[in-house]
Amino acid sequence: MENKTNKSKSITNFIIAMLGSSRNPRAFRMIMKEREFSQYKKESIQVALSRLNKKGYVNNSNNEWSLTKEGKIFLNKTSPFNYIVSNFNKNSPINTIVSFDIPETNRVSRNWVRNQLKIFNYKMLQQSLWLGPGPLPTNFIKRLNELKIRENIKIFPIKKKI
């Protein structure tokens, strides 16, 4: 039962974070299909969205889901695996490389980092090598420290060629 509760919680957190990041519905659906979220049935995601709607966290108008004021408050609750809203837009310059080596025994943290980087609009070059906008938000770095995985992550700024 606990595993089912954790899955439901991760779907909820991910949905709230994605909607809070002002992603368009197409990007939202594409990311939901990736990685560990591909293990969830479409119906499970719809149920999670329905529950979030009943709680007043999300709103559906014209078949597009959006985050409500209450949803933003929910998003800011302090759970270490809640996702951080992206402050990058899709046109943000690509100027950062993130590399990480998080042990298999810490799979939850590793998956959280991957999903968080997707929310920040990073693109995967390899499983643990990502390219995207920067600098990364300070609350992301703080969260890495809280999760005790900061030492497993290297962040490299990219400088333009002269």
110-137 pLDDT tens trace: 988 998 998 899 999 998 999 999 999 9
According to DSSP, the β-strands at 64-67 and 123-126 are unpaired
d(CA 105, CA 120) in angstroms, rounded, equals 25
Using the 8-state DSSP alphabet, how is residue 84 labeled? P
Residue 82 lies in a domain: no
What pLDDT score does 49 carry?
A: 87
What pLDDT score does 138 carry?
A: 92
Range of the domain at 99: 94-157
Across the range 56-63, mean pLDDT stands at: 84
The CATH code of the domain that includes 117 is 3.30.70.240
Spatial contact of 132 and 94, defined as CB atoms under 8 Å apart: yes
Residue 162 lies in a domain: no
- Return all residues near 115 (Cβ < 8 A) that are at least 6 apart: 14, 35, 36, 83
The CATH code of the domain that includes 16 is 1.10.10.10
What pLDDT score does 152 carry?
A: 96
Q: Is the pLDDT of residue 1 over 50?
A: no
What pLDDT score does 124 carry?
A: 93
Residues 67 and 107 grouped into a single domain: no
What pLDDT score does 21 carry?
A: 58
Mean pLDDT of the chain: 79
What pLDDT score does 141 carry?
A: 94
State what percent of residues in the chain have pLDDT above 70: 71
Choosing from 75, 108, 132, the residue where a domain stops is 75
Choosing from 48, 75, 102, the residue where a domain stops is 75
Residue 83 lies in a domain: no
Taking only the tens place, the pLDDT of each residue in 11-42 is 676 676 666 655 555 666 566 555 445 666 77
Instruction: Count how many domains the chain has.
Output: 2
